[in-house]
Amino acid sequence: MLQFAEGLTDRQAADAVRGRIDGKYLLGLALDDPGFDGSILCEFCACILAGNLEAQFLDARLNACKARALLKARGTQRTDSTPVLAVMRTVTRLELVGETMRAALNSFSVVASDWLQAQVAADWFDRYSHRVERYRLPKQAEACRQLAVTIGQDGVHLLSAICDPATPRWLCQIPSVEVLRRVWLQQYVIDDGQLRWCKLAHKLEFASKILSRQ
């Protein structure tokens, strides 16, 4: 609930439990409790989704709230696991594309810094100079979509520059470039010439457009 209410990534939520009194209070932990690693939250969510346990987990939470008189039968409260799961998936995908782009840029900064400086836009430093989970992602759906598209456009620009005939061919062999290409094939689609946050049913169209440039 803390993570959802404040729009925190898994790492930020784990940091909140370790360093904030309200986080420890919410979980009933002692003040000197060391907390846990953020990867535990990611693994927990993955297990819930893989086992189709969303409804079971939600029912367990509701029953616990009823036992503590926090919810009453036929009251005005309404909840649904669907929007919660949707937010989880959106945040995870944003972290994926953001960190993939950042990893590619870091690789180029080591092996081809002069070439990279000619490709980056002025606002890329603010967007990719630190890990994605270190800043708070937007809560509104439209703001999340726009951030995803912005990152996607940055990635397409970088991939297009790599495929340019004037670019040294050995840059294509950098492992992070192949990772970037594959992630973009999975997460984005080009529709009527516009890059869009991918619905998986359309990802093959984007794949063919990217591969045709190589």
Cβ-Cβ contacts under 8 Å for 8 (sequence gap 6 or more):
2, 16, 136
Mean pLDDT value across residues 151-174: 88
Separation in Å, CA 82 to CA 85, 86, 107: 5, 6, 38
74 falls within a domain: no
Q: What is the model's pTM? A: 0.52
Beta bridge partners of 196: 189
Domain count, the chain: 2
Whether residue 18 contacts residue 49, with contact meaning beta carbons closer than 8 Å, is answered with: no
Whether residue 109 contacts residue 116, with contact meaning beta carbons closer than 8 Å, is answered with: yes
Residues 89 and 28 in one domain: no
C-alpha–C-alpha distance, residues 104 and 99, integer Å: 9
Residues 55 and 141 in one domain: no
Residues 40 and 115 in one domain: no
**45 falls in which pLDDT band (50, 70, 90)?**
confident
- When comparing pLDDT for 5 and 187, which is higher? 187
Mean pLDDT value across residues 182-201: 78
Residues 101 and 169 in one domain: yes
Residues 104 and 161 in one domain: yes
Mean pLDDT value across residues 8-24: 81
- When comparing pLDDT for 28 and 213, which is higher? 28
Residue 34 reports pLDDT greater than 50 = yes
186 falls within a domain: yes
Per-residue confidence (pLDDT) for residue 172, from 0 to 100: 84
Show which of 36, 67, 98 is a domain's final residue.
67
Q: Which domain holds residue 14?
A: 2-67
Residue 78 reports pLDDT greater than 60 = no
Lowest model confidence (mean pLDDT) among 71-75, 126-130, 165-169: 71-75
